[in-house]
Amino acid sequence: MSERTSRIGGAFDKARVDGRALLVGCMPAGFPTVEGSIAAMKAMVDAGVDVIEVEIPYSDPVMDGPVIQRASDIALAGGVRTRDTLRIVEAVAATGAPVVTMTYWNPIERYGVDAFARDLAAAGGTGLITPDLIPEEAGDWLAASDAHGLDRTFLVAPSSTDERLAMTAGHCRGFVYATAIMGVTGARSQTSQAAPVLVSRVREITDLPVGVGLGVGTGEQAATVAGYADAVIVGSALIRCLLDTPDDAEALTALRDLSTELAEGVRHGLPRGAGGRPG
């Protein structure tokens, strides 16, 4: 684990002082268009989303369910490029909200791992969430993220052994991403039973903040997850606001409304401490 300061750490520190979890909202870059995705992400920030997760659209997103797949396909069909993602990161980071990028690995290898790290840092991004990169294969990214001072978030899963949890968390900087369920992204009617168990297992081996993603779609679910996690990560439910509503203005209204609901959720979670992070 590197002692280097995390770019996103300050946001977690502040939320901890406020006694609440962060709300992370995910949107694919270039969905529905480059400008449209910037507008959507800014609307999310205005409505109380703390951190924006910009997903680089990829042709073969094996960790994603149908909503993100469709949104990614629309973005790619619109011709979005990896360098557009960097422009989007820069525009959204200008609002002052931390912007983390989530990406499958091949687009980064193709861009050049060090070049991407350099350009992401220059654009004001905090780091990468890498759903199909495990630390064992991440040599180039470990070096590039150190060289350019970026955070790196690897995933942990309910199926991870204790040894792997320790190894994976040891390579994270910023926060650890706990996948709440064994499955792909997409809102679900019930929050996971496995997630609180996984989060407490992670807390036994690291002091890093833990974000929980997969399956959260309502303010109530956000409140539940905020009761034990440091960040609540929401993607598909937010994206669906734009997929389901053909009218742009209406879609942004729906997106703002859901963001507000989720933001209230993370502020009204169970009292911090009971099963959550001390302090």
Catalytic amino acids? Answer: 53, 64
Q: Does 142 bind another protein (CB under 8 A)?
A: no
CB of 269 to another protein, least distance (A): 25
Residue 65 interacts with another protein (CB under 8 A)?
Answer: yes
In sequence order, what are the residues at sequence separation of 6 or more whose Cβ sits closer than 8 angstroms to the Cβ of residue 154?
130, 133, 134, 135, 138, 168, 171, 172, 176, 177
Q: How far is the CB of 64 from another protein (least distance, A)?
A: 8
Interaction of residue 73 with another protein, rule CB under 8 A: yes
184 in contact with another protein (CB under 8 A): yes
Number of chain residues interacting with another protein (CB under 8 A) = 42
Answer for the pair 119, 127: CB distance below 8 angstroms, yes or no.
Answer: no
CB 153 within 8 A of CB 177: yes
28 forms part of the interface with another protein (CB under 8 A): no
First-to-last alpha carbon distance for the chain, in angstroms, is: 23
Extract the tokens encoding 269. Answer: 């979670």
Q: What share of the chain is helix, strand, coil (3-state, %, to 5)?
A: 50, 15, 40
Residue whose token pair is 């997630």:
195
User: Counting contacts by CB under 8 A, is residue 122 touching another protein?
Assistant: no
Task: Find the shortest distance in angstroms from Cβ 242 to another protein.
Answer: 18
Binding status of residue 76 toward another protein by CB under 8 A: yes
Q: Which is nearer to another protein, 48 or 65 (CB)?
A: 65
Nearest to 145 by CA among 177, 121, 122, 166: 121
> Smallest distance from the beta carbon of 247 to another protein, in angstroms?
25
Rounded Cα–Cα distance for residues 12 and 210 (Å): 10
**Considering the complex, what minimum distance in angstroms separates the CB of residue 193 from another protein?**
15
Identified binder of another protein from the candidate list 94, 147, 182, 197, rule CB under 8 A: 182
250 binds another protein (CB under 8 A): no
59 binds another protein (CB under 8 A): yes
Q: From CA 279, how far away is CA 260, in angstroms rounded?
A: 26
Q: What is the full DSSP assignment across 190-238? A: S--SHHHHHHHHHHHH--S-EEEESS--SHHHHHHHHTT-SEEEE-HHH
Task: Give the residue with the Cβ less far from another protein, 70 or 268.
Answer: 70
Residue 111 binds another protein, judged by CB under 8 A: yes
156 counts as binding another protein under rule CB under 8 A = yes
- Residue 149: other Cβ atoms inside 10 A: 16
Answer for which of 61, 127, 213, 227 binds another protein (CB under 8 A) is 61
Q: Which residues bind another protein (CB under 8 A)?
A: 58-63, 65-66, 69-70, 73, 76, 81-82, 105-111, 131-134, 136-137, 154-161, 164, 168, 179, 181-184
